Structure 1
Amino acid sequence: MSAESKPASAITAAANRADLSRLPFADDPSQDDARRGFIATLDPPVITGADGQVVWDLRNYDFLDGEATGTVNPSLWRMARLNLNHGLFRVIDGIYQVRGFDLSNMTVIEGETGYVVVDPLLSAEAAAAAMGLVREHLGDKPITAVVVTHSHSDHFGGIKGIVSADEVASGAVRVVAPTGFLEHAISENVYAGIAMSRRAQYMYGVGIPPGPLGQVSTGLGVSLSNGTTTLLAPTDLVSESGTELVLDGLRFAFQYTPGAEAPAEMNFHLPDLRALCMAENVSHTMHNLYTLRGAEIRDAAAWSDYIHEALELFGDESDVMFIGHHWPVWGRENIEEFLERQRDLYRYVHDETLRLAAHGHTMVEIAEKVELPENLATFWANRGYYGALNHNVKAVYQKYLGWFDGNPANLHPHGPVEAGERYLEFMGGSEAVLEKARRSFDDGDYRWVAQVVKHVVFAEPDNRAARELQADALEQLGYQAESAPWRNFYLTGALELRTGALRLPTTSVTEDVLGAMTTDMLLSYLAIRLNGPKAAHEDLRLLFEVTDTDELRFVHVANGVLVRSSRVPSDGYDATVRLDRTVLAALALGTRDPADDMDISGDSEAVHVLFGLCDRFRPDFPIVTP
């Protein structure tokens, strides 16, 4: 099949032109704010690793230097151009940001003796390049502390690019994070890491080339750097609002905000600088109450309340607000307006969803009904460049009422392959379905084409005509999407329908990340890899002695599950396994043979049986095909 993209249809081009008159493009202060305070950048804007691998290259986005084409929603084109501003920027004296070197921002605050770094990007290579630019233009001073605002990898993954584990262990560098940071970082990036990484390939458009027919943005930033994701455990945890710390002579006042944009997150205020960091709890976009890569549902009501609390705690004491993505907001009145509009955005979505649910409307029905009031909808920072109103409404419904809409017909549906086969039989076969679907495509009903033709694809995955028509429909939906993740999902789906699943190396489950996990976390991941049906009739009792941390863990496999305990049973076990934690991490990841670097006493066969029962996960599993 050809991977060649198609042009925008006349219907798609007209829909995109309509957005030009619907939104206030002539009133857009962000165009100046995104460039304010520029100091310097890399020329060319390319970052490479020690091995010469390119991990970041903004030259791929030179096509954005011009007007939107018919294949890109003009509002999304606006955000893509704004995100392309890159380099070192002065926020105010003493606070600087490196933007456009990764998906997120790295903020550098000058202390008495060195730098306090906030959110060191996604990859070590990008963080190192950002810090190099800082030292070149602001002075070669040491890093004294790192503040990680929340548990998403684009805000901690680059940490080993700027500080070492030894510097943290020695106390030379403090790492401050919210309580629950490590647990939730591991939950997303390891426990659900393979599935989430695969879906993130769709969400961020990792496999589609940048261009007017491909990836133009992620909404939060340009793209993801493709370097090394690292992790270091925090030395200081913030567990409640009102916590104050002094880092390198600077006073930090924290607001603890769990369960909003991330399960573990915090804002902070710098009273001596009259500066407010809102982490990722506000952005120049509507954010996700549910993220399409897959994650815990976020609490819209709590999110709104946290923004309101920040406004009350710090609004009168702040002259600038900086955030984990995009550009700052200057001036007390502008900060107040920004916080109020984002506060009311999440509250409106929350309250309207539950109001309509109380009238008996289902999740899908409510998502089609809810529209933002004009005052919220036309505020640029509330546009759905990352989150989208439609899927955020569904997130609120799911948080309170779950996936089931109450209709018993939807309680136990057939799987996609079985349903597809039955749909085709009822509708007269694949040719009849495709003939009608082509008419719907010509009418511009691309949503319906995507919905109905998927049954042909799942019933007959080798039906080239079905795959091509499905791809064409998804492509037009992508061209119309204002949300960058929606566009990237649609276009990646179209590409994979045409060429097959992309074989991309992207995964958040790495040995470096596992190296920061506790012994119990590693054994929890091993339990996830255990194939329950195969292990159902096994009874394995093993004692793990982790030599470098002096820990004992009893592992019992029975009933298809792995249970761990720090209590050693009095009635014995099959074998004792002595190993250090790096070996355990590699075994948990599945990259090491269980015969290596272990001292086994007792029944060694029981040890091999355990690891033989553990699955190896495929990071390129199919999504748009069975």
Structure 2
Amino acid sequence: MRPMMRGRVSRLVLAAVAVWTAPALAQSAPAADPALAPKPASAATAAAQQAVAAALPQEDGRDAGFAARGFVASASDPLIRDAAGKVVWNLGAYDWVDGATPASVNPSLWREVGLLKKHGLFRVADGVWQVRGFDVSNMTVIRGMTGWVLVDPLTTSETAAAALALVNAQLGTRPVSAVIYSHSHADHFGGVRGVVAEAEVTAGRVPVIAPAHFVEEAGSENILAGSAMGRRAQYQFGGGLAPGAQGQMGSGIGLGVSSGTITLIAPTDTVSKTGETRVVDGVPLEFQIVSGSEAPSELNVYLPGPKVLLSAEMSTCSLHNILTPRGAKVRDARAWAGYLDEALQLYGGRSEAVISSHCWPRFGQAEVSRMLASQRDNYRVLHDQTLRLMNRGETPAEIAEALVQPAALAADWFNHGYYGTYSHNAKAVYQFYLGWYDAVPANLNPWPPVERAKRLVGAIGGPAKVIAQGRAAMKAGDYRWASELLSAAVFADPANKAARAALADSYEQQGYQAESAIWRNQFLAAASELRHGRVGSATSSQSQDMIAAVPTQLLLDAVATRIDPAKLAGRQTAINLVMPERGETAGIELTGTAMLARMNAAPGATATLTAPRRLLLGLLFLKMPLAKLEMAGLKVDGDRAAVEAWLDALDPMPGAFNIAEP
């Protein structure tokens, strides 16, 4: 395959893999129409912010002290660039967050970003450091006998390389002697090629350690539903929003997400049970498996020498997500609380610091135990109280409205909802047990959004009356009701400029009031798109690493999700795919209504395609012409018409879609 074609295959397929790491897009130019311009905080929003400020915990300076403790240095140049000179990360992007809280930012979130903006190399304990603020995640650095043991090498190779350069400049140059991935999300492994060469790994000189099932979960969470997740992630992380008092205010557990190159080197060693130990470059390590909490494949690391617990993403400076707004498998809040309790029992009494792969550490044995216990109770309350109300017959929306965080837990800043919230997490717990249906028959088979909106707008008396009522709700500060009314007006007629502008204004005020950074991002991203249209799509131009690591079975299962049964037209046949360079043969069975893929030859196949896997990916994901790929080396034996009928029945790779409008 020509290099250009190979790169195109990688880019297009990776758009379905590295979904949430797409770079933030440039903010749209100021609108000529004043109705489409961002608005200041309303009087109702300013009053709501004052009420929040009055209810916040007393500031005792501990977080500020912990966030600054051990500071060594940061990079002299705040701009991290890729090989072409493009800026992929700006260390100073949030330097302006200082002083009094603007009315357009929740006071609690303003405080959080003021702490998260601190960047550089920080000493945690003897032989343990972290690089923080160089990406949405942290890189932990452990001094081994011969080199650096790195835990979670950030999201992209550029930021990881810059972080390692800072470490070497400040602590003395040493090779990387091992890498540990704490879990299966890209911000914890994507920068690996920025810190180690694959040749060092394949030669056995640098082990790469990960929790069991890491590769499968790294692919499965993003491949099958990758396009939908990618589009939704633009809202969660504020794609298109510039940092600012009326714009993006981080992600709650970090700032933005770097826009460089995502890479992956497959693990050489996996950990499957709590209590397993390793001695890595002379450093004793103990592991706790916490899979099913924040990620389906995740571990924590305890360092008995310096008495440091790395609680990867199980405990951070915020309540986390039981179900992320971008979409994921629903997490088990009960198990999450159980893992925190297990960590407390195993490590609380013998840890002098707890660090995580986001946010800042906490120091002192009593503080470590207190945080683990408090966050354990936070998740347990979410779980138990949701079930208590659920078992009384309350619906997800009713539970989310009624469930209030206990004052004793709200007194700890790290329990606040800067990332996850009690509202959407309660709905996630309900979904974990009972699914989407709330048992109200009216919600069993409702009209879809556009048809429902048309009927609702008609019942109220037409779009003019709906907009008038929406504006009245806006004036009263009831932005939730305003959004519901105005969203109906937009879905009934997306060309209605007055409805779009008013809905954007109502979303904007809710974004300003949100304590959760990702709630803020979603409201403000929707407002921006209503005013200016979509400004881009969640694509990625990263390397082939993720695709190379994803099992062929999973890729073919993803292809099956694009079969259009109508185009299949009842055809029943079998086709074999042979990939000589991998020693793999896959059998495709078309049943007439579905596509089944198995990692063995299909008996009685009517056709066989033989080619390197990258060519088959071009055929199946890019829908490149069969004849063109034959010129590049793909071989077709048997019934060519059956192959072409199969390919014709595949939908193209999906692109961006509307969210705030139909």
Would you call these one fold, judging by a TM-score over 0.5? yes
Match of 2:393 among 360, 364, 369: 360
Match of 2:561 among 528, 533, 542: 528
Tell me whether 587-596 or 16-25 shows the greater mean CA deviation.
587-596
Do the aligned partners of 2:589 and 2:602 also contact (CA within 8 Å) in 1?
no
User: What does residue 620 of structure 1 align with?
Assistant: 656
Per the TM alignment, residue 128 of structure 1 is displaced from its structure 2 partner at its CA by 1.2
1:214 partnered with 2:247: yes
The residue identity in structure 2 corresponding to 1:606 is A
Local SS of the residue matching 1:64: coil
Local SS of the residue matching 1:254: strand
- Cα separation, 2, equivalents of 1:604 and 1:518: 26
Match of 1:78 among 111, 132, 144: 111
User: What does residue 604 of structure 1 align with?
Assistant: 640
- Cα separation, 2, equivalents of 1:196 and 1:246: 38
User: What does residue 391 of structure 1 align with?
Assistant: 424
User: What does residue 560 of structure 1 align with?
Assistant: 593
The residue identity in structure 1 corresponding to 2:635 is D
1:579 partnered with 2:611: yes
Match of 1:406 among 430, 433, 439: 439
Tell me whether 616-625 or 113-122 shows the greater mean CA deviation.
616-625
Local SS of the residue matching 2:241: coil
Do the aligned partners of 2:252 and 2:517 also contact (CA within 8 Å) in 1?
yes
Local SS of the residue matching 1:529: coil
Local SS of the residue matching 1:548: helix
Local SS of the residue matching 1:600: strand
Normalising by the residue count of structure 2, what TM-score does the alignment of the two structures yield?
Answer: 0.91
Match of 1:590 among 607, 622, 626: 622
Tell me whether 38-47 or 579-588 shows the greater mean CA deviation.
579-588
Residues 1:25 and 1:590: Cα distance change in structure 2 (over 3 Å): farther
Residues 167-203 of structure 1: per-residue CA shift (max 9 Å, x gap): 2222222111111211221122222211111111100
Residues 1:579 and 1:249: Cα distance change in structure 2 (over 3 Å): same
User: What does residue 480 of structure 1 align with?
Assistant: 513
Match of 2:356 among 323, 327, 332: 323
Tell me whether 537-546 or 192-201 shows the greater mean CA deviation.
537-546
The residue identity in structure 2 corresponding to 1:115 is W
Match of 2:316 among 263, 283, 299: 283
- Cα separation, 1, equivalents of 2:174 and 2:272: 30
Per the TM alignment, residue 591 of structure 1 is displaced from its structure 2 partner at its CA by 7.3
Structure 2: which 5+ runs fail to align? 1-30
Local SS of the residue matching 1:109: strand
Match of 1:99 among 123, 128, 132: 132
- Cα separation, 2, equivalents of 1:209 and 1:93: 38
User: What does residue 257 of structure 1 align with?
Assistant: 290
- Cα separation, 2, equivalents of 1:485 and 1:37: 29
- Cα separation, 2, equivalents of 1:561 and 1:168: 41
User: What does residue 228 of structure 2 align with?
Assistant: 195
Do the aligned partners of 2:216 and 2:551 also contact (CA within 8 Å) in 1?
no
- Cα separation, 2, equivalents of 1:522 and 1:168: 25
Tell me whether 36-45 or 46-55 shows the greater mean CA deviation.
36-45
Residues 1:611 and 1:248: Cα distance change in structure 2 (over 3 Å): farther
Per the TM alignment, residue 310 of structure 1 is displaced from its structure 2 partner at its CA by 0.7
Tell me whether 477-486 or 495-504 shows the greater mean CA deviation.
495-504
Tell me whether 188-197 or 60-69 shows the greater mean CA deviation.
60-69
Tell me whether 26-35 or 100-109 shows the greater mean CA deviation.
26-35
User: What does residue 45 of structure 2 align with?
Assistant: 12
The residue identity in structure 2 corresponding to 1:562 is M
Local SS of the residue matching 2:94: helix
User: What does residue 519 of structure 1 align with?
Assistant: 552
User: What does residue 158 of structure 1 align with?
Assistant: 191
Do the aligned partners of 1:514 and 1:585 also contact (CA within 8 Å) in 2?
no
Do the aligned partners of 2:157 and 2:263 also contact (CA within 8 Å) in 1?
yes
The residue identity in structure 2 corresponding to 1:234 is P
User: What does residue 123 of structure 1 align with?
Assistant: 156
Local SS of the residue matching 1:61: coil
Do the aligned partners of 1:501 and 1:621 also contact (CA within 8 Å) in 2?
no
Q: CA RMSD in A?
A: 1.7
Equivalenced residues, count: 625
Do the aligned partners of 2:262 and 2:542 also contact (CA within 8 Å) in 1?
no
Per the TM alignment, residue 587 of structure 1 is displaced from its structure 2 partner at its CA by 3.9
Tell me whether 191-200 or 520-529 shows the greater mean CA deviation.
520-529
Do the aligned partners of 1:321 and 1:335 also contact (CA within 8 Å) in 2?
yes
Match of 2:333 among 285, 295, 300: 300
Residues 233-256 of structure 1: per-residue CA shift (max 9 Å, x gap): 221111111111221111111111
- Cα separation, 2, equivalents of 1:61 and 1:250: 36
- Cα separation, 1, equivalents of 2:123 and 2:480: 45
Per the TM alignment, residue 583 of structure 1 is displaced from its structure 2 partner at its CA by 2.8
The residue identity in structure 2 corresponding to 1:590 is L
Per the TM alignment, residue 585 of structure 1 is displaced from its structure 2 partner at its CA by 3.9
Residues 475-520 of structure 1: per-residue CA shift (max 9 Å, x gap): 0000000000000000000011111122134459974321211222
Do the aligned partners of 2:79 and 2:87 also contact (CA within 8 Å) in 1?
yes
Do the aligned partners of 1:478 and 1:486 also contact (CA within 8 Å) in 2?
yes
Residues 1:577 and 1:177: Cα distance change in structure 2 (over 3 Å): same
Residues 389-425 of structure 1: per-residue CA shift (max 9 Å, x gap): 1111111111111111111111011100010111111
- Cα separation, 2, equivalents of 1:511 and 1:589: 14
User: What does residue 238 of structure 1 align with?
Assistant: 271
Residues 1:325 and 1:536: Cα distance change in structure 2 (over 3 Å): farther
Q: 1:421-500 counterparts in 2 under 5 A?
A: 421-500=454-533
User: What does residue 310 of structure 1 align with?
Assistant: 343
User: What does residue 343 of structure 1 align with?
Assistant: 376
